[in-house]
Structure 1
Amino acid sequence: MHLPDPKDTLYDIWLASRSPNAPNRVQLAPGAQRPLTIAKLSLAGQIIARCGPGFFTLVWGLHPIRTLIMLALNVARGAFPALRGYSQALIINEVQSSISSGSFTWSHLLYLLGTEFSRMVLETAIDSFATLNENLVYGSARFLIEYRQMEQQLRLDVPTLSDPTTRDLLHESDLFVRSFAQAGIGGFGFGLLSPLDFVRVLTLLSELASHVFVLSSLTAATPSSGTSRTTQLYILAFSLITFILPHIVAWLRCPDSFNRYDDGGLPYTPQEARNAERQEKMRNLAHSDPYRPEVLVWGLGPWILQGWSKARRAMLGLDSEHRGTSNFIGQMDLVSSVLAQINFNFADLMMVVQNIPLMLVLQQSSGALGSLALYRNSVQQLVFTIRQLFTTTRMGLQSIFLMGAFCAAMEIEPLLAPKEDDLVQYVSHERGMKIEARNLCYTYPGSKQPSLSNVNFKLEAGERLAIVGHNGSGKSTLAKVLLRILDFDSGELLVNDVSVRHYNPHDFHNHVSTVFQGFSKFNSTLAENVGIGFVDKLKNTKAIEHAVKLAGATRIVESLPRGLKTRLDTAGADPFTFPSLNGSTENDTWASSRSHQGLSGGEWQHIALSRAFMRAHRPEVDLLVFDEPTSSLDAHAQNRIFDTIDDISRRPSGDRTKSVIFITHRLSTVRRADKVAFMENGTIVEFGTHQELMRRNGPYAALYRASV
């Protein structure tokens, strides 16, 4: 993993935060809660200093005016509970006074009721507007953070993602992104606190101050109260204890109950469901390791990011196409929210009014029932607010470390990407790609046995190489190294006399086409399964039909109920079912109501070959790599495929324009190759033409005679 100076990186600060407090303890698991210690607080401070300004500047730049309004309204909303209690206390006091005196002053009572109704309308309108404003700010920030995460995920290559610590870092980065899931909906996503939820601290502090002010006013000793200041403080202390004690008892009985949060969940409309499915499909492609080789080779990153972005923006209501509808819905939501909240507040007011019968007991007392209700409510809310502040602080510490993981993850550079000073632009050759391997060695992470050991061979431009050998001899691993899916540990790999490490992998992949032995099966239409081989032509039916014809799959298409539009059943290869990969909503229905067509192993192999032929015949492609391309095909289909490979690798004049490497266990096809590499125990033990190796009468000759 390419990182700056370890002493100054966010990566090392994040890594230090996972260290245990006691010696001989294992490192904290990714996502685990960091303990509240001086050392952890110091690390959190460093992360805030490094990430905080940039992150909040980023958020501020999205909607500066709306963000300022959000901050101001969060402070104002903190005073609402105290104002509500004071207004309702005045009403109760007026009713108590009227009953006690036997003289009803209806005008004053109606005035107080009107004032309370106006307060409810104003409070609800402000609260609803604040919620809508927050949703827009949060939604924009959430989309930006998710977009950057997706963008970075698609940049990373297989060797980078193979590092366990990097995977832990990306896991915590993903938790940070997911913490935005419920922002603006009145809850914490996945039991986490997103940085934007810190604005709620302003509300809590404002609410805390307002309740303290109310309680200090109510407990102030006056000559008419008949009680001393000390007595009032005792009453306040007793009230606080009686409200706090049940929470302490509940915590002692079940400490984990304070760590549980409801993720909630909102039902989707059919359109939202389609967008959600499309968005998750693209996310699955970006994050799934089995798809990674083909995502890299076919250069699917920008296409995946674009498809996810379109669906995600629609899900968040940020799509300009639905802006007018969203504004109208927002206005209707505001009205309905105001009416619903008024009903709720009336119910709340009625619950307060239920205390009025108590005034019969208090008629001879100097205390006012409204003041008593206000006092009791303020004490209760004070305890609740303190608990919320404690919870927010505890969750906030964890959120800081997750933010550090996100920022550190954004600094990771793909392991295969060359440094800027070493970068060499790939230049196509007329005859194809020249490849030379010198003492190549590679060991999979965590393995003690090398998969490749001192591999040497030379392939001239335009030549064809067959790689053969027993299972587990390293053939597929060598193919992935040649395709720059995997890096090698030592040795040299020269492409057109330039070290392959000087090429940008994305640039290099533009000049190759391949069929992997474990090719991907996408739970989508046949056209899309083929078209992703060259996404620029994904919607070009003629290009797809041409690729299908080259792969000999025309009869398969004709036998399907909807031809190229038939949705294929992956039979468990892809656990999700999603709508069109290209974002089309034409004839979209719920995925569960669609009929999926199953294919045999040979038919799927034809689809994989069609995918490779989408690009293989193009002039910029210099290398074709086929890993067991005909393992599930009969002899006639196999010969047709190799004839096609021979045709597309030549000009009409017969001159070769592409180098071809194919891995096969069917040695009858080896005669088509110019050179043969026989692999055993991760190395090439024999290399030469078919005739030369047969004359040597070595392991290749023995395997060949046993197979034909």
Structure 2
Amino acid sequence: MFTLDLVRGIFPAFRGYSQALMIDELQRLISSGDFTLANILREAVMELARMSCEAALDIIATSNENIVHNSARFLVERKQMEQKLRLDVPTLSDPLVRDLLQESDAFVRSFNGFSAFGVFSPFDAMRLLTLISEVLTHLWVLSSLTFGGTPLSIILLSITASALPSILPWLTCGQNTWDHSDGQLEARLTAKQEAMRGLAYSDSYRPEILLFDLGPWILKSWSRARKSLLGLERKQSGGDTSLSSYLLSRIYLSGMFSTFQNIPLLLVLHSTSTSVGTFTLYRNTLQSLFLTAETLFRTLRMAFQGVFLMGAFCAASALKPRLQPEAHSTTSYDPSGAGMAIDVRNLSFRYPESKILALSNINLSVKAGETLAIVGYNGSGKTTLVNVLLRIYDFEGGTLRVNGVDIRRLDPHDFHAHVSAVFQGFSKFSASVKSNVGIGFVPEMNSADAIDAALELAGAADLVRSLPDGVRTRLDGDELGRSCDVFCGDSAGSQKLHGLSGGEWQRIAISRALMRARRPEVELLVFDEPTSSLDAHAQKHVFDTIEQISRGPNGDRTKTVIYITHRLATARRADKIAMMDNGTIVEFGTHEQLLTRNGRYASLYHASV
């Protein structure tokens, strides 16, 4: 590509010399009296042959450049999205990191042409060399020209514009090759690409993306759509524009017509020492020099800004998730087979840019296989504590151990593979029921049996059977991906979005968590107000299901369960209860122990029953 760009840099000068020679030949024919139509056609054919060769080489160079440039653009965009998906909530909470990522995004967008400062990429550095070689060639041509005694007044009053170039757009334009299906496909691919990018960049989806390890799936889905849009995947159908039509459109016909516009000057200039070809070469070279110089300066201005943004991209690529331990201290999670033991001592947490501790002096101990209920007033820190235990947030002080290992020594990706959860602010995707449930465990996303089993366990099977298209019904979630199905392999039966109530959405979210919760490697289940919008019967079914899947075939506990609830009648089912107030655990023990103490839990319990 570099060699071809340099060769293309001398095309304008080569074109000018060729046209000058042709005009000089025509002048000679007129002077000799041998000015016939056959001779004119011969010169025109030779010029067309030269232009065809130039256009063919330009097609090859352009095609090669597009492939290389689009491949590089894809890799840069993929690298940016991959890095974004790797970063955790604490890292993204840093204002400096956010600013750096914004500048890095500006660099990535410059490959798409959507940047506010214009398009510039590393490949434009080679374009700079092409422009420089073109400028130097034009200067060399100008320096080699002499006009003798040709009066400038005659040159400036040479020819009025011809009407021929005005019909060039009509001659060279082709029919619209986009058919309806191609337009729909492009629209779907664009929507899928943007939806996946939205998932990667949205803070609201970050907890579930990290917990359910959706990063590789999002990256894969985005990559497939982006490659198709960039033409990096071979098209299976659709006709291509004919080579002859494309070749004709690339031929510089307007330059040819402008050449013949100079023929009337021959009668004026044939008696001077300056040929019409020399004059045409001079005029075209001078015009091209100004245009090329302007393009060169504009590209140089973009280059300086592009260098700084490229620096931001490189710096952003080197960011490391804060929750990721150093390689020398990383320890693999060791499953116990009986659930996850959790031990918390003097734990504290503070939100970024906040001077007040959201959690302070947290102490609790949960044995493997036990069930813990976290209760308390609104704003007491229950959800924050759960997010710390799930390794979504990092804690500021104290210790947190799972199975006797400091959680900061565990890779979050490894830890999350053994956890399933329902978040209080769970995501509502504008996609099919199958996709909304299947993302709980992506490897079985397309398994009808796994989807049906999860729906049945969550008590959502009857709900889904009542929907217009069953599991293929598209749900009306949030704004992201509302324009189309954004999930890989999802083909909804109806294009109409179906709305659900709060309780119905909770059943879908619980089904999502149960996709993974049933698996033997999962040893911790966390539910943040999973039944707040359900009636008492549905609530009992959900907690009976949780109890069922937390035990093995022989009845032994195989999973630890933590849930937040405002319903203290539900809290009675737990082995231990943590009563929270003002960001700390004020009471901890069994239901009977807390009632005996006659403290805050007892007061709250008696007020609720």
Question: Do both proteins adopt the same fold according to a TM-score greater than 0.5, normalized to the shorter chain?
Answer: yes
What displacement does 1:481 show?
Answer: 0.5
Indicate the residue corresponding to 2:452 in structure 1: 545
Selected match of 2:480 from 536, 554, 574: 574
Cα offset, 1:179, TM superposition: 2.2
Residue pairs, 1:29-108, within 5 angstroms: 70-95=1-26, 104=35
Give secondary structure in 1 for the equivalent of 2:364. strand
Q: 2-side partners of 1:333 and 1:546: how far apart?
A: 53
Q: 1:563 matched to which residue of 2? A: 470
1:672 aligns with 2:573: yes
Q: Which residue of 1 aligns with 2:215?
A: 301
Quick one: structure 1 residues 199 and 325, their matched pair in 2 at CA, closer, same or farther if it must change by over 3 Å?
Answer: farther
Query: Structure 1 residues 605, 446: CA separation in 2 closer, same or farther (over 3 Å shift)?
Result: same
Structure 2 residue 187 is matched with structure 1 residue 280: no
CA distance in 2, matches of 1:580, 1:188: 25
Q: Distance in 1 between matches of 2:485 and 2:277?
A: 59
Q: How far apart, in 2, do the equivalents of 1:76 and 1:144 lie?
A: 27
* 1:500 corresponding residue in structure 2: 407
Q: Per-residue CA shift, 1:4-45, capped at 9, x if unaligned?
A: xxxxxxxxxxxxxxxxxxxxxxxxxxxxxxxxxxxxxxxxxx
- Residue number in structure 1 paired with 2:230: 316
Q: Find the residue that maps to 1:407 and give its secondary structure.
A: helix
C-alpha distance in 2 between matches for 1:682 and 1:420: 33
Match of residue 86, structure 2, among 125, 145, 155: 155
Relative to structure 1, the CA distance from residue 190 to residue 668 in structure 2 (aligned partners, 3 Å threshold; closer, same or farther) is: farther
Tell me by how many angstroms 1:482 deviates.
0.2
Residue number among 95, 119, 122 corresponding to 1:195 in the alignment: 122
**Aligned residue for 1:487?**
394
User: C-alpha displacement at 1:580, in angstroms?
Assistant: 5.2
1:455 aligns with 2:455: no
What is the match of residue 597 of structure 2?
696
Change beyond 3 A, Cα 1:80–1:352:
same
SS in 2 for 1:672: coil
Q: Would you say 1:346 and 2:253 are equivalent positions?
A: yes
1:367 CA drift (Å): 4.2
Deviation >6 Å, runs of 4+: 187-190
Match of 2:499 among 588, 598, 602: 598
Please give the alpha-carbon distance, in whole angstroms, between the structure 2 residues aligned to 1:673 and 1:214.
89
Separation of aligned partners in 1, 2:582 and 2:115: 53
Could you give the per-residue CA deviations for residues 227-249 of structure 1, whole angstroms, max 9, x where no partner exists? 8xxx99xxx9x9xxxxxxxxxxx
Inter-CA distance 188–359: structure 2 relative to 1 (3 Å threshold) = farther
Secondary structure of the residue that 1:655 maps to in structure 2?
coil
- Give the structure 2 partner of residue 433 of structure 1: 340
Q: What secondary structure, in the 3-state scheme, does the structure 1 residue paired with 2:572 have?
A: helix
- Is the 8 Å Cα contact of residues 188 and 194 (structure 1) preserved in structure 2? no
Secondary structure, counterpart of 2:420 in structure 1: strand
1:361 deviates by 6.1
- Is 2:538 the counterpart of 1:637? yes
The counterpart of 2:139, out of the listed 212, 237, 257, is 212
Q: CA RMSD in A?
A: 2.7
- Cα shift at 1:110: 3.7
Is contact 1:180–1:189 with CA below 8 Å preserved after alignment?
Answer: no
Aligned-pair distance for 1:213? 1.6
Q: Deviations over 1:256-309 (max 9, x none)?
A: xxxxxxxxxx99632233222222222222221111110111111222222222
Encode CA deviations 1:537-569: one digit per residue, 9 max, x unaligned: 111101110000111001111111110011111
The structural deviation recorded for 1:521 is 0.9
CA shift, 1:352, in A, is 4.2
CA distance 1:354–1:109, change in 2 (3 Å): closer
Inter-partner Cα distance in structure 2 for 1:160 and 1:503: 17
Alignment partners' CA distance in 2, 1:359 and 1:698: 110
Amino acid at match of 2:471: L
Match of 2:104 among 167, 173, 191: 173
- Aligned equivalents of 1:669, 1:537: Cα separation in 2: 31
**What pairs with 1:398-547 in structure 2 (closer than 5 Å)?**
398-547=305-454
Name the CA distance, whole Å, in 1 between partners of 2:244 and 2:388: 61
Q: Secondary structure, in 3 states, of the residue corresponding to 1:466? A: strand
Q: Deviations over 1:135-175 (max 9, x none)?
A: 11112222222222222222211111111111222222222
Q: CA deviation at 1:612?
A: 0.6
SS at match of 2:334: coil
Would you say the 8 A contact 2:587–2:601 is kept in 1?
Answer: yes
SS in 1 for 2:143: helix
Report if the CA contact (8 A) 2:475-2:498 is conserved.
yes
Moved more, 205-214 or 692-701: 692-701
SS at match of 1:195: coil
Structure 1 residue 290 corresponds to structure 2 residue 204: yes
For residues 562 and 663 of structure 1, what CA distance do their matches in structure 2 show? Answer: 34
Paired amino acid for 1:135:
N
Do the aligned partners of 2:472 and 2:492 also contact (CA within 8 Å) in 1? no
Contact 2:438 2:512 (8 Å CA) reproduced: yes
Q: What displacement does 1:176 show?
A: 2.2
- For structure 1, list consecutive stretches of 5 or more residues without a partner in the other structure: 1-69, 239-265
Bigger mean CA deviation after superposition, 402-411 or 607-616: 402-411
* Cα distance in structure 2, aligned partners of 1:82 and 1:431: 80
- The aligned amino acid for 1:209 is L
Amino acid at match of 2:104: S
Instruction: State the distance in 2 between where 1:624 and 1:476 align.
Output: 14
Is contact 1:464–1:660 with CA below 8 Å preserved after alignment?
A: yes
Aligned partners of 1:439 and 1:454 also within 8 Å: yes
Q: Structure 2: state its 5+ residue gaps.
A: 157-177
- Flag the 1:544–1:190 CA change in 2: closer, same or farther, 3 A: farther
Amino acid at match of 2:562: I
1:597 match: secondary structure: coil
Alignment partners' CA distance in 2, 1:107 and 1:389 = 42
How far off its partner does 1:85 sit? 2.4
Kept in 2, the 8 Å contact 1:521–1:573? The answer is: no
Q: Is the 8 A contact 2:211 2:419 kept in 1?
A: yes
Offset of residue 105 of structure 1? 5.6
Q: What is the rounded CA distance, in whole Å, between the counterparts of 1:384 and 1:546 in structure 2?
A: 68
| C-alpha separation in 2, matches of 1:162 and 1:102 | 84
8 Å contact 2:81–2:219 — kept in the other structure?
yes
Q: Which moved more, 1:575-584 or 1:443-452?
A: 575-584
% identical equivalent positions: 56
Q: Is the 8 A contact 2:428 2:436 kept in 1?
A: yes
SS of corresponding position for 1:520: coil
- Give the Å deviation of 1:576: 3.8
The answer to whether the 8 Å contact 1:278/1:583 transfers is: no
Aligned partners of 1:453, 1:361: CA distance in 2, in Å? Answer: 97
Question: Per-residue deviation at 1:613?
Answer: 0.6
| Structure 2 SS opposite 1:456 | strand
CA contact (8 A) 1:434 1:460 kept: yes
1: CA distance between counterparts of 2:101 and 2:489?
Answer: 27
Using the alignment, how far apart are the partners of 2:115 and 2:530 within structure 1? Answer: 50
In structure 1, give the amino acid aligned to 2:131.
Answer: L
Question: Is the 8 Å Cα contact of residues 339 and 560 (structure 2) preserved in structure 1?
Answer: yes
**Structure 2 counterpart of 1:599, one-letter code:** L
In structure 1, the partner of 2:518 is 617
Other structure's SS at 1:462 match: coil
Distance 1:359 1:704, change over 3 A: farther
CA separation of 1:423/1:521 partners in 2, compared to 1, >3 Å: closer, same or farther? same
TM-score, reference length from structure 1 = 0.78
- Residue in structure 2 matched with residue 226 of structure 1 by the alignment: 149
* Structure 1 CA distance for aligned equivalents of residues 424 and 259 of structure 2: 72
2:526–2:561: 8 Å Cα contact kept in structure 1?
yes
Q: Is the 8 A contact 2:345 2:364 kept in 1?
A: yes
Q: Distance in 1 between matches of 2:149 and 2:261?
A: 27
Contact (CA 8 Å) 1:179, 1:192: kept in 2 or not?
Answer: yes
- Judge conservation of contact 1:543–1:614 (CA < 8 Å) in 2: yes
Could you report, residue by residue, the CA deviation over 1:481-518 in whole angstroms, capped at 9, with x for unpaired residues? 00001100111101111110011111111111100000
User: Are the counterparts in 1 of residues 432 and 485 from structure 2 also a CA contact under 8 Å?
Assistant: no
